[in-house]
Amino acid sequence: MATDITSIEPGAVVRSGCPAPKPRASRMPTQWFGVAPFFLFAILFLIAPTAYLIVGAFQTPAGGFTLANVAELWQPTIRAAYWISIKISLASALLGAFIGLALAIAIVRGGLPAWVRGATLTFSGVASNFAGIPLAFAFLATLGRLGLATILLRDVFGFNLYAAGFNILSFSGLTLTYLYFQIPLMVVIITPAIDGLKKEWGEAAATLGATQWQYWRMVVIPVLWPSFLGTVILLFANAFGAIATAYALTGSSLNIVPILLYAQIRGDVLHNPHLGYAIAFGMIFITGMANVFYIWFRTRSERWLK
Amino acid sequence: MKSGKFWAWLTFGLGAAYFIVPLLATLEFAMRMRRGTYSFDAFAVVFGDPRFQQTFGYSVTAAIFTILLGVLIVVPTAYWIRLRMPHIRPIIEFITLLPLVIPAIVIVFGYIRMYGSNSALPFLGSTRGTDALLVIGYTVLALPYMYRAVDTGLRTIDVRTLTEAAQILGAGWVTIIGRIILPNVLIAVLSGAFLTFAIVIGEFTLASLLNRPAFGPYLQNIGANRAYEPAALAVITFAITWGCMSVIQMLARFAPKSANRPN
């Protein structure tokens, strides 16, 4: 008998001596039943389709492993598409973030009447969801060749926008259009963070003899930094995946990644289905990397705040 | 302080100009249809177009089903997480945020490859199946907003006490979720629902790639072929979005601010 006891794991002895864990062991699965529908839904319709494309990006048509599809992303047209997409997303995210921040600070801290704040936040809620095709229509009616702003600038101020090199169907035009939903999104997300800046901090800093600039540099910016950065990343992903606005605005004349992928899905314009997977993989990779950066920055800044 | 106020007004004024000018310009452009005078002709043409009525009706239906499916998936999950499994909340939150990271066009590309007519789940083999897949895709896109709205709503009620009270009175899980939890977070669910509606109504990517006759592809088609109608449609869509957001704000006024005993 003694030899039997040595062969039994210590945990097993404890378990046999104590009946309590038994009901927990049987409760464990029923507990998971409650979230099973959600996980099933998420796996079937979010994770599996994405994983399917990622795996496909590294497969030959016969099913073997290859890096050729991803390597083909370096051909000039596709590389150019990625580059202009990244430029537009980055420009609209950064501009949107800084302008949105300035607006949020103005309405929270600027001593403006209360209705200004209310109106701005309401409008931001609307405008941040006013994207897609109607937004393209609105900007064509404003800054297109026959748009109101174009005509007013020409007839009243004698300034011909299009002769000056502007085109709504270009990098600057698309960035300007994207700002219409990027700025409000920033305002919506960052206003609560600015509200969270306690008045006492400013008073404490002033009591200790800090100048306004020192208060901003040492208190406000470190506190706002993580949410600011997080929102920039969100805005970047937001612009990077957007297709409807660009498609309605430019047709397929502006070669950005989502439009390229759209054409590929519709008609295999690249004549290689697996290259389509690689483009999708590239998009996920870029937005994914942006988030990794965000998490990394955030853990760093949190350590700093401690 | 005086100069601070000046800069605040200036920032606000510039921002307001950037946001209001395109709206005015769009309205003005839409009213230019009849030569030499302003008229609402473009709006009349749009509203009289049977394709407008059909596609708009289709998208409204899709939005309603999306909201129902979203509520069905999100409410029990968020409830269960609060009640029994708070330790896996980070995982759930991570998953609900994924649709903000993975572009919609990538998700629908995956659907097209995975659920074709020769696959194990041939959604794309039939029209009804494709409609279902479109609604499912919209539910995924709306997941971040729906989950956050419902979770915020649940935070304001005492989930545990309500559940225990219902259980003592002999209620089953369906009764608890359907008749106790859902009515208590109804305002939060409704604000999630209206946000979902605003997202779904003009959505283009999914509807276009799944070849469904929704409002988004109709907008694109009109934009490519007409001059004044697109501007009128932009004004209409903006009004719909505005309406949805106003309802959400009104609902927020009725929402309870905090629970008596927050858990």
Set of chain B residues whose Cβ sits within 8 Å of the Cβ of A149:
21, 25
CB-CB under 8 Å, B26 with A130 = no
Nearest CA in chain A to B123: A45
Under a CB-based contact definition with an 8 Å cutoff, are residues B189 and B75 in contact?
yes
Task: Give the span between the Cα atoms of A237 and A231, in whole angstroms.
Answer: 10
Structural domain contains residue B7 = no
Q: Does A8 touch chain B (CB under 8 A)?
A: no
Which residues, at least 6 apart from B80, have a Cβ–Cβ distance to it below 8 Å?
Answer: A34, A35
Using alpha carbons, list the distances in angstroms from residue A111 to A89, A107, A201, A210, B3: 33, 7, 18, 22, 11
Q: Supply the range of the domain harboring residue B192.
A: 49-253
For tokens 């995946």, the residue is A241
Which amino acid would we find at residue A34? G
Q: Measured between alpha carbons, how far apart are the two ends of chain B, in Å?
A: 43
What is the 8-class DSSP label of residue A59? B
d(CA B18, CA B22): 7
Q: Calculate mean pLDDT across residues B220-225.
A: 88
Q: Cα separation of B220 and A262, whole Å?
A: 14
Residue B115 lies in a domain: yes
Any domain includes B6: no
Task: Report the 10 Å Cβ neighbour count for A302.
Answer: 11
Residue A261 structure tokens: 């992928």
**Beta-bridge partner residues of A59:** A65
For residue A13, the model assigns a pLDDT of 42
pTM > 0.90? no
Q: Which residues contact A79 (CB under 8 A, 6 or more apart)?
A: A73
Please tell me whether residue A60 adopts helix, strand or coil conformation.
Answer: coil
Task: Report yes or no on B125 lying in a domain.
Answer: yes
DSSP letters of B158-180?
Answer: -HHHHHHHHHHTT--HHHIIIII
Check CB contact under 8 Å for B80 and A35: yes
Taking residues A296-306, report their average pLDDT. 66
User: What pLDDT sits at residue B223?
Assistant: 87
For residue B146, tell me if it sits in a domain.
yes
Q: Is residue B210 part of a domain?
A: yes
Determine, yes or no, domain membership for B15: no
pLDDT (0 to 100) of residue A251: 74
A 53-112 residues inside an 8 A Cβ radius of B: 53, 56, 99, 102-103, 105-107, 109-112
Q: Domain containing B75 — which CATH number? A: 1.10.3720.10
Read off the pLDDT of each residue in B189-197 and give the average, rounded to a whole number: 90
Q: Using CB atoms within 10 Å of the CB of residue A146, give its burial: 0 to 12 exposed, 13 to 18 middle, 19+ buried.
A: exposed
- State percent of chain B over pLDDT 90: 40
Residue A230 to chain B, least CA–CA distance (Å) = 12
Residues in A touching B181 (Cβ below 8 Å) = none
First to last CA, chain A: 57
Backbone angles phi, psi at B77, to 5 degrees: -65, -50
* Residue for token pair 């600027």: A110
- On the question of pLDDT at B229 being above 80, the answer is yes
Token pair, residue B234, equals: 């932009």
Tally of domains within chain B: 1
What domains lie within chain A, and their CATH numbers? 2-45 (no CATH), 74-305 (1.10.3720.10)
Q: pLDDT of B41-59, one tens digit each?
A: 889 888 999 999 999 999 9
B157 belongs to a structural domain: yes
Q: Encoding tokens for residue B195?
A: 């946000």
Percent of chain A residues topping a pLDDT of 90: 26
Amino acid code (one letter) for A276: G
Give pLDDT tens digits for A39-48. 999 999 999 9
CA distance B93 to A229: 19
Average pLDDT of the residues in A131-151: 87
Q: How confident is the model at residue A10 (pLDDT cuts 50, 70, 90)?
A: very low
